[in-house]
Structures are given as structure tokens and as C-alpha cells.
Copies of this chain bind each other. A is one copy, B any other.
Amino acid sequence: MNEVTISAKLQKLADEMGIGLISSDINTFVDGGVCAAKGWKANGIHCGLAHKALTDTEEKSQAANNAMPSAKKKNDLAMMYSERRAAAAAVYTTNKVKGAPLTVTKENLADGYAQGVIVNSVNANTCNADGIEKARKMAELAAAAMGISANDMVVGSTGVIGQVLPIEPIANGIPALYEGLSYTGNDEAVKAIMTTDTKPKEVAVEFTLDGKTCRIGGMLKGSGMIHPNMATTLTFITSDAAISPEMIKKALCENVQTTLNCVSVDGDMSTNDMCVVMANGCAGNSEITEENDDYGIFCEALWTVMVNLARMMARDGEGATKLIECNVKGADSFETAKTAAKSVIMSSLFKAAMFGEDANCGRIMCALGYANADYDVNKIDIDIASNGGYLNVCKQGSLLDFDETLAKKILTETDITIIIDLNQGENGAMAYGCDLTYDYVKINGDYRS
């Protein structure tokens, strides 16, 4: 593998989170998030959507506690614009309760193209009798400002479920939002989709297709109600590569299975999950229309963006202090490996033990035991690893009398890997999660106020 170039800004984010980045030698990490690719502008503003008005005292108290930025000032509305119509595909939550914006986005992407995005935080526009009407209105207002068709709009919302979305702040904010669109607007846009996130999460890579320099960049929000199935949270990914709607859909569906769908923060699948990928062709490569080498390169670049966004989301899970990765191998199928890996990272007891840095590995075996997949638990080996060391804790289903001092040293790190060998096949999967902390309870005990 060649030396991987990581942009200073991305490296700083990874360092602050205490996690490594997963890279490949065909990609170079670049800055710019959703504006990294040619022809993409973005912006974010505070338009005034709020759970409630904060008093000055509350605002100071929030700031002092390093809590979510004050709803008075935090960006809550983002816009994205492509100079050309872009091939576009999306995957959505499988929750039966769906946010109204998903219905509208799905309708608009039916033809395989999009050109603009409007997305708000604070209010999910879900379980509201007038939800779809409001989501359509958002699309119309934003499209009119940008001079594009309302049918080419992606609409997203995230926040509290079941509160009527006030359209006025959005309508009033759109002119300034449009005026401020820029090729460096990703910083403001990503702030606008954050809810309980403590860090803005963006990744972008550069690669070569057909002799042309191409880019893919994305942003996503966490950080609670995270248990994706067929999609995850709100993720927006842009590219300047030329690729057909059919192939971009295929690339998204393949990659989401091993990235965003392998994350669980709290087992609660959101009503508003959506991951959209849009590619506008501004890089000038010949359009990818089949599964050729260029498609492979595009897929690898997309995977790099998505897997790092997924890991950042897990690491910044509500209240989390650690990224927990579970690597299951030796399974009879990918599905078996994924089910086993997700069962471990979803176990509340295991997550609490990771927070306590307690190598209570019986809880790993317990979670492997109740996972909805077939395997012989008496063949399982388990190791735990981090920058602090590597330790075998379970052999053939029986826990070992391992070195507790080394176990503690491993678990004090912020990036922990659990390696599980089922020893009954050739397939593997990774799942990404975090620890369960007091702050998760604190954040979610009073989220609306």
C-alpha cells in the first residue's frame, strides 16, 4: 500500500476523536466535505427552528456544559446545489413510521436525478398530519430560489418527532441561504444537520477515473436513534464523477451494507434515515454505465467515504467515549457474521462494561449466543485489541483466565476492537458501535427541552 495522504483538517478531527482512519491506496483524503467535488456549492444558516426559546441563563448554562450549541444560534437549515443535474440514488429507513421528507425525496428521485438539497434539523417533520405538504413546500421554496425544478430536490429533516414544522422560519431563511451558497459552504452546511452531535462529520477523497481527477465527499449527522437498516441517519454524499443513475444506485446499495448499516449506537432505528449519493459528471470522465474497472474504483472511493463517516458516527454516538469495532470472521456467510457482530455492539451490558473498561467478556459470549443466526458457540475464539495491546480472552467457547492488567490497558484506549473467530466458515463482517455512558442517559432524559 502506498503512503496515504490525509488532509490536515481530517487528521485533526480523527485525532480529536481518538480514532484511526481507514484508507485505501487509490484514494487521497481531501478537505471540503460535500463541496470537495467540482460543481457543488453548499450553505447553512440559523433560520430559527427551536424546541423552545432559551433564556440567557439557559444559554450560558448550555455553553458552560459544552452541550449542544444553543438552539438560538446553531445552524438549523442547509442547502446544497449542483451546477449540473446529478445522477442520484438514495436508501431509506425501513421503519414503518417514516418522516414526511422521505416520501417527497423518494418521489423526486424516481427519475434517477437531483440537483439540489434542502434539509433542516431541530424538527423531524414526522408523525404530523400536514407533514408531506410541508416537505413539498420546503422543496418548492428552495427550488424556486435556485431556479431549478422542485422535482430535482432532495428534502431532509431531523430532530424531534411529532411537532408541527413551522414553515415560516424556513421560508424566511431561504433567500439568505441561497445568497450564501459557496464552494466552501460545507462547513456551514454540516453544522446545520447536527443534532446532539459533538463534532461535524465530513470525509472526502480524491481518485482518478479515465485519466480525470474525481472526488467524492460526504457529511452525516449522528448521534442517537442510530440503528440503520437499509440506510442510516442523514447522509449526503456528492461527487463530480460521471456515472449513470443505475450504477450509482448499485454502488450505494452495495456499500451501505458494509458501512452505515453496520453501525448501532442505541438500537433505535430512526424514522428519518436517508443516505443520498449524487454525482454530477463535472470531472469529465466517460460515464460509468457498467461494472467495469472504473466502477470498481468509484465503489472503493465511495466505500472509503462511507466507512469513515460510519466510524465517526459510532465514535460520536450520544454520550460515547469510545469507538467499539467488532470484527467477526470464520462465519458461514456475510449475513451470519454481520448479525453476530451487530449483536455484540448492541448489547447494553457489553457497552456499559466497555465504558467501565471492565473486560467482562462473558457478555460478549452472551450476545453471540442470542444473536439470531446459527453457529456452534463451542467453537468461538475471542480476542480484544487496541493500541494498548492484544489479548486472547476466549478459546473454543470457554473463557480464559486472562491477564486482567493487560485487559485494562487495552480497554483504557478510545478505539477498541473485538475480534471474534466463529471458526466455521470463510466469511466476515465488521460492526461499529460505542460505549453506553451516563451522558447517553443525560442527553436522552431531556432531549426535547
Contacts and interface: CB of A to CB of B under 8 A. Distances in A.
A362 B129 contact: no
Contact of A399 (B127, B268, B352, B441): B127
6 contacts: A96-B371, A267-B346, A271-B362, A271-B366, A349-B444, A360-B447
A441 B162 contact: no
Contact of A348 (B268, B355, B363, B448): B268
A394 B97 CA distance: 13
Given A97-B377, A440-B352, A366 B161 contact: yes
B127 A358 contact: no
Contacts of A401: 164
A18 interface: no
Nearest to A444: B352
Contacts of A9: none
Contacts of A362: 124, 126-127, 160-163, 271
Contact of A162 (B163, B365, B438): B365
Given A94-B370, A97-B365, A366-B225, A358 B449 contact: yes
A241 interface: no
B225 A96 contact: no
Given A161-B366, A362-B126, A267 B446 contact: no
Given A360-B448, A441-B438, A365 B268 contact: no
**Count of chain copies:** 2
B266 A348 contact: yes
A128 interface: yes
Interface in A362-404: 362-363, 365-371, 375, 377, 394, 397-399, 401
A347 interface: yes
Interface residues of A, number: 65
Interface string A124-144: 101111000000000000000
Given A271-B366, A444-B353, A127 B397 contact: yes
B269 A370 contact: yes
A160 B360 contact: yes
Contacts of A441: 352, 355, 436-438, 440-441
Q: Please indicate which of the listed interface residues A164, A369, A442 has the most CB atoms of chain B within 10 Å of its own CB.
A: A369
